[in-house]
Amino acid sequence: MNNILVPVGTSPDSHETLQYAVDFASDFGAQIYVMDVFTVSTGAGALGKVTEKVAQSGKEQIKQVISKIDTKGIDIKIASYNGDIIDGLNDIEKELGIDLIILAPRSNDINEEYYLGHTSGRIIKQTDIPTLIVPKGTKHAPIKKILCAFRSGILKRSKILYPLSEIKNKYGSEINLLLVKTPGYSEDDLKINTALLDLSKNVTISENPTTYHGVLEHFQKAHPDMLCVFRRRRGFFKKLLEKNTILKSEFYAPIPVLVLSVKKD
């Protein structure tokens, strides 16, 4: 795992997410890129100067965020982009090769209505970059137990498991698979990718209305440090195909959630 990207928003707690990312990256010897996205749309004559001023202002704000954390000797680089955040993420990924995005959900306050806000939801929905969602205030610690939940064990490309494999190798993580048989499942769904099986300690099969209901049923027993799910058309975050936000009544996790994207599924 070489390059980790952290989109920094306007939240006063954004340094907490960045600190988690730095602590995580230091374990892997990875480079951290902090992303600043802005939109400038003016007359052509003034566009260059205005863009430069806005970009510089954004960099100064990010430097203030960085000043609040322990960088652990990592030279954090700032990646600025003028335009839409998804276009920026895709451009940066093509240029640098991003192995993981680390971001916070909208809020970890139990009184907040949303688990995923509009921006974090769009990132998970509209990119194919593996993403680690870290609840606000989470302190990084070795990841010893991972619950990987899914409704179909079919993976067309085993390489999407790369982040999960890297985490397992680094921390000696125990990975438990939870295959949730939801209404309308097929026999093919019960076939689990051999690379995924090789990473795991055991497999549990459960019958529930949704994958999330299966996770709720087995969460306390598994007591994981991380939840791993797949972003696919019929998968865990299928509501993201309908909208960008996710209510806490639809999903909530008090631990980091690793989202692995399955293309053209």
Residue 120 reports pLDDT greater than 80: no
Task: Provide mean pLDDT across the span 152-164.
Answer: 90
pLDDT tens profile 254-264: 899 999 987 54
Instruction: List the structure tokens of 217.
Output: 């049923």
Choose between 137 and 68: higher pLDDT.
Answer: 68
Contact, 139 vs 225, CB < 8 A? no
Averaged pLDDT score across all residues of the chain: 82
Phi, psi angles (nearest 5°) of residue 157: -135, 110
Residue 80 reports pLDDT greater than 50: yes
Task: Provide mean pLDDT across the span 90-118.
Answer: 74
- The CATH topology of domain 3-103 is Rossmann fold (3.40.50)
pLDDT tens profile 188-234: 889 999 999 999 989 999 999 888 888 888 888 888 999 999 887 65
Distance, CA of 167 to CA of 232 (rounded, Å): 22
* pLDDT confidence of residue 115: 63
Question: 145-260: what CATH class?
Answer: alpha beta
* pLDDT confidence of residue 264: 47
Contact, 115 vs 212, CB < 8 A? no
Confidence of residue 43 (pLDDT cuts 50, 70, 90): low
Residue ranges of the chain that CATH labels 3.40.50.620: 3-103, 145-260
Give pTM, 2 decimals: 0.85
Confidence of residue 163 (pLDDT cuts 50, 70, 90): very high
Contact, 189 vs 205, CB < 8 A? no
Residue 134 reports pLDDT greater than 90: yes
Q: Which of 97, 152, 169, 173 is nearest to 128 (CA)?
A: 97
Contact, 179 vs 204, CB < 8 A? yes
